Amino acid sequence: MYANIIVDISHEQLDKVFQYKIPNRLSDSIQVGSLVFIPFGRGNRQIKGYVIDITNKLEASIDASCIKEIISVKEGSIPVEAQMIQLASWMKKHYGSTMNQALKTVMPIKTEVKNIEKKWIKSLVDSTTLQAALEEARRKKYVARVRLLELLVKQPVLSKYELEKKKISSKTLEPLIEKGLICLEKERQYRNPVLEYMNRLPKTKESQQIILNENQQNIVDSITHNIEQKDLKPCVIHGITGSGKTEVYMELISYIISKGKQAIVLIPEISLTYQTIFRFYKRFGNRVSMVNSRQSQGEKFDQMERAKNGEIDVMIGPRTALFTPFSNLGLIIIDEEHEGAYKSDTMPRFHARETAIQRAKMSKGLVVLGSATPSVESYYKAKHGLYHLYYLGKRAVSSSQLANTHIVDLREELKKGNKSIFSETLHKLILDRLQKKEQIILFLNRRGYAGFVSCRFCGNVIKCPHCDVSLNAHNNGTLVCHYCNYTIPFPKQCPSCSSNYIATFGLGTQKVEAMVHKQFPMARTLRMDMDTTSKKGEHEAILNSFSSQQADILIGTQMIVKGHDFPNVTLVGILAADLSLHTSSYRSSEITFQLLTQAAGRAGRGEKSGDVVIQTYDPEHYSIVTSAQQDYVAFYEKEIAYRKMLSYPPIGHLLALLVTSSDEALAQEGILCFANEINIAFGKKIQIIGPTNASVSKIKDSYRKLLYIKAMNNDTLIEVKDKIEELQEMYYKNKKIFLQFDFSS
């Protein structure tokens, strides 16, 4: 057997793999992740390396007679790097990717990041010696040196800043350093994003210490009891919005820290507002740090280093925070665990929930999954005893009430002759709230302005020539492709039939804002969508200004329904509730239920009670009915029946294989070949759906073919994936077709 080894884990070098022979005496003690000693280079200097793969295939470039052998294995505690390598190997196997892709996912990348250093000089001699040196410098008229020594006589330590202020350069310092009068000291400094956040924070009044209510305390007691009994089964906390889940998380983290361990808190990026960070900072001070996608490489890398060095106990962040190199990780919390953003959309397409459970297993830690609308997968596992299940059914602040919901049938509105985007009910309630100076959120279940452009005469829809999607109209007079940014001016005539009847369809946030201004001219509005939040800080600026009541109505897409508390909001209007029902995913009902429930949860979070108006063309759909009643369990029962009927996850398991190529015939041939071969190899154990064109059949001139494979057992699908990789290696090695695997389980 041979081991593939990386010797430098400084992260840029991950591609440099060396192969060594595993001597028989070590074959039992070496595994993926092992830290080994190897002879290296011409002089066979003994160095350390990490095993990233074990194989019986010798690299073609190596001669079997002169391959070197591993000398020994480091016994004892495994460093965190080894754990991360094992995790990468697990991800490679379960999600399909190269080892290199998997390693790059779990290791923070150190590119050309400069360390920040704090520098200062220190006097090494007593004051008489300094005084003598000063006299001498004065005699010789060394002006700069006199300035320096005068300072040093007064204070023996000078910061770089103080030196700069007095215009003392390193030329002045050097002779004194040589004479041994002073020395230069420096210390690595880490960037601290949390402090930066806190400094930007408006001063708030000190709030008092929260004491957990009985429900919260029971959950904390039960989970800590589990940990003490070494029962590390993942826990689901199903808690309605505002029921105090975050307080429970913090209590559990305190407990874990008291045991000398560390915690990771995953939060969807969009909910990672300063309010959230502030709550954790107040509790854990400088022992907490955060990562997010807007940080610089240096900032991110520093946070990972701080974690490794034991400077912090808690890391908060989106998906990637899962790979924080804590050496004694005791707890991983995944808030809003149902969120789609926990699934990676690049290879390996890992799910943070499953990967967290795997990582926790390695470090003997616990995973806690929290949500007001748990994923059907997690709830199913909890119901079947694979996870513990806890429930928080009341809002933590007793004065805050759940809202009244009204479902409005838009078809009826049209019959009554109301063609506006606001139903009668919603219109009346908006007027009422404007009068009472209470705030309103209008939620639109989609992105951007207006959507697609088509010809009302011939029906032609204007599409991107490189991607098979319709172009979106932006109100600066252009049409834009959201996949590749292809942009053209808004056409005056239909490119297909030359008629003038060309116009935008659908409803966007800008249009909603325009309608609000028309019907409620006195209302002050804010709009939050992809367009208004593309720059750093814009997202929070909007939330802050709405929070401080600088606007009456906040209009936005998905992103407004998450993470922020607005106590003065007493009305939420959901303008087109069913739009998300009509996507091609088997999850569309679940996603709709989650969105509507979260949106409804925004109303009445303060002392005043609230109303939610759900406008829809599909008022009987169970996603809409159950979300209006805020009845998760009723939704779950309907949904799981549907999943059972069609063997969709979590009952069955699903693997999507995407084959892409710039040569359409080659992509088609490839996917047919894979479909045939796995059909022969797996027969009745799997069900093959397709192949078809992907719903977007071309992106950036690359053709996309899709195949679904269903199986009752996820391990079968992993074997299917391995088989497809083999086939690719056998038949398509040097041809330009690319595979992507996507597991849903």
Q: Is 225 helix (H, G, I), strand (E, B) or coil?
A: helix
Considering the complex, state which of residue 105 and residue 472 has its C-beta at the smaller distance from Zn ion: 472
Closest CA to 294 of 557, 528, 540: 540
Q: Least CB distance from residue 414 to ligand ADP, whole Å? A: 37
Residues 455-514 interacting with Zn ion (rule: CB under 5 A): 455, 457-458, 460, 464, 466-467, 481, 483-484, 486, 494, 496-497, 499
**467 interface partner picked from ligand ADP, Zn ion, none, CB below 5 to 8 A per type:** Zn ion
CB of 491 to Zn ion, least distance (A): 10
* Separation CA 231–CA 641 (nearest Å): 31
Q: Tell the smallest beta-carbon distance from residue 154 to ligand ADP (Å).
A: 50
Is the CB of 299 or the CB of 540 nearer to ligand ADP?
540
> What does the H/E/C string look like for 521-540?
CCCCEEEECCHHHCCCCHHH
What sign does the dihedral 290-292-294-296 (CA atoms) show?
Answer: positive
Task: Kindly state the tokens that stand for 442.
Answer: 């209008």
Q: Which does 481 bind (CB under 5 to 8 A by kind): Zn ion, ligand ADP, none?
A: Zn ion
Closest CA to 378 of 252, 518, 249, 234: 234
Kindly state the smallest distance separating residue 274's Cβ from ligand ADP, in Å. Answer: 14
* Residue 524 interface partner, choices ligand ADP, Zn ion, none, CB cut-off 5-8 Å depending on type: none
CA angle 272, 275, 276 (to 5 degrees): 50
When the beta carbons of 131 and 499 are compared against Zn ion, the nearer one is: 499
239 binds, among ligand ADP, Zn ion, none (CB under 5 to 8 A by kind): ligand ADP
Nearest to 80, CA basis, from 72, 71, 69, 88:
88
- Please name the helix (run of DSSP H) or strand (run of DSSP E) that holds residue 708, with its range, or none: strand 702-711
Q: Output 466 or 517, the one with its CB closest to Zn ion.
A: 466
> Which lies closer to ligand ADP via its Cβ, residue 73 or residue 210?
210
d(CA 427, CA 188): 59
Tell me the closest approach of the beta carbon of residue 273 to ligand ADP, in angstroms. Answer: 12
By three-state DSSP, how is residue 730 classified?
Answer: helix
494 binds, among ligand ADP, Zn ion, none (CB under 5 to 8 A by kind): Zn ion
Are 614 and 628 in contact by the 8 Å Cβ rule? The answer is yes
Least gap, CB of 395 to Zn ion (angstroms): 45
Closest CB to ligand ADP among residues 252, 654 = 252
Closest approach of ligand ADP to the CB of residue 151, in Å: 50
Write out the residues near ligand ADP by the rule CB under 6 A: 210-213, 216, 239, 241-247, 396-397
Return the number of the residue (96 or 242) whose C-beta is nearest ligand ADP: 242
* Smallest gap from residue 251 Cβ to ligand ADP (A): 10
Kindly identify the residues of this chain, within the stretch 431-460, that bind Zn ion according to CB under 5 A.
455, 457-458, 460
Residue 278 binding target from ligand ADP, Zn ion, none, CB below 5 to 8 Å by type = none
Secondary structure (3-state) at 488: strand
The distance of closest approach from Cβ of residue 404 to ligand ADP in the complex, given in angstroms and rounded to an integer, is: 20
Quick one: what does residue 396 bind among Zn ion, ligand ADP, none, with the CB cut-off 5 to 8 Å set by partner type?
ligand ADP
Task: Identify which of residues 213 and 327 has a Cβ nearer to ligand ADP in the complex.
Answer: 213
Q: What is the DSSP letter of 559?
A: G
Q: Does residue 444 contact residue 576 with C-beta atoms inside 8 Å?
A: yes
Pairing of strands 653-661, 738-744: antiparallel
List CB contacts of 406: < 8 A, sequence separation 6 or more: 425, 611, 612, 613, 614, 628
Give CA–CA dist 480/711, Å, rounded.
39
Q: Is 621 within 8 Å of 581 (Cβ atoms)?
A: yes
Least distance (Å) from Zn ion to the CB of residue 468? Answer: 9
CA angle 228, 229, 234 (to 5 degrees): 90
Cβ pair 317, 333 in contact under 8 A: no
Q: How far is the CB of 207 from ligand ADP (least distance, A)?
A: 8
- Choose among ligand ADP, Zn ion, none what residue 212 binds, the Cβ cut-off being 5 to 8 Å by kind: ligand ADP
The item of ligand ADP, Zn ion, none sharing an interface with residue 397, based on CB under 5 to 8 Å by kind, is: ligand ADP
Q: Strand (E) positions, 27-153?
A: 35-40, 45-55, 72-73, 116-123
What whole-number distance in Å separates Cα of residue 191 and Cα of residue 437?
Answer: 42
Chosen from Zn ion, ligand ADP, none, partner binding at 210 (C-beta under 5 to 8 Å by type): ligand ADP
Which one, 37 or 457, has the nearer CB to Zn ion? Answer: 457
Pick what 83 binds: Zn ion, ligand ADP, none; C-beta below 5 to 8 Å, kind-dependent: none
Contact 140, 196 (CB under 8 A): no
Q: Does 116 bind Zn ion (CB under 5 A)?
A: no
The pair of three-digit structure tokens given for residue 524, joined into one six-digit string: 């002050």
Enumerate binding residues for Zn ion (CB under 5 A). Answer: 455, 457-458, 460, 464, 466-467, 481, 483-484, 486, 494, 496-497, 499
